[in-house]
Amino acid sequence: MKYVTTIGEREFLVEIIDEHHLLVNGVAYVVDFDSLSDQPVFSLLLDGQSFESYVYTSEEGLQVLLHGNLYPATVEDEREKRLRAASGGRVAEREEFHLKAPMPGLVVSIPVQEGQHVEKGDVLVILESMKMQNELKSPRPGTVARLRIKNGDSVEQRQTLLSVV
């Protein structure tokens, strides 16, 4: 199986030959790979060198935490890669943004109104959780739409609070 794996700006061509052998950009390695006690903690033995890492699955792809560094990673097989190339790349910047609660909490303030224009970095909602007030900011400029909450609401994790279009 051949994969194209992107770490930040760099692409790696990883070919999995069998359980214990793979090629990275054409260089062969002997590997042993196992998850530890069914947790997202993985042990990799690569030509005898031992690495341990956490791997988180998120909407944008995988996040690999290794030696105190976090590496956002996307892994595509060749078919996916070709499909994406055909569709003309990413459109994330233009897409609507749906603000989701990053954790359960209490809405203490909504400094914006529906229809209001916001800049990137403007505070959209202040959410209190773990006794801290957390400012949730807009990742892009746009107009506030579909405000689904009011002051004093308790919200669940990943509940959609509002959109920026």
In the complex, the residues that contact other proteins under the rule CB under 8 A are 1, 3, 5, 7-8, 10, 12, 14, 16, 18-19, 22, 24, 29, 31, 33-34, 36-37, 39-42, 44, 46, 51, 53-55, 57, 62-71, 73, 75, 77, 102-105, 108-109, 126, 128-134, 157
- SS3 call for 81: helix
Rounded least distance, CB 7 to other proteins, Å: 4
Which secondary-structure segment (H or E) carries 125? strand 123-129
Rounded least distance, CB 149 to other proteins, Å: 16
Rounded least distance, CB 103 to other proteins, Å: 5
Rounded to a whole number of angstroms, the distance between the first and last alpha carbons of the chain is: 40
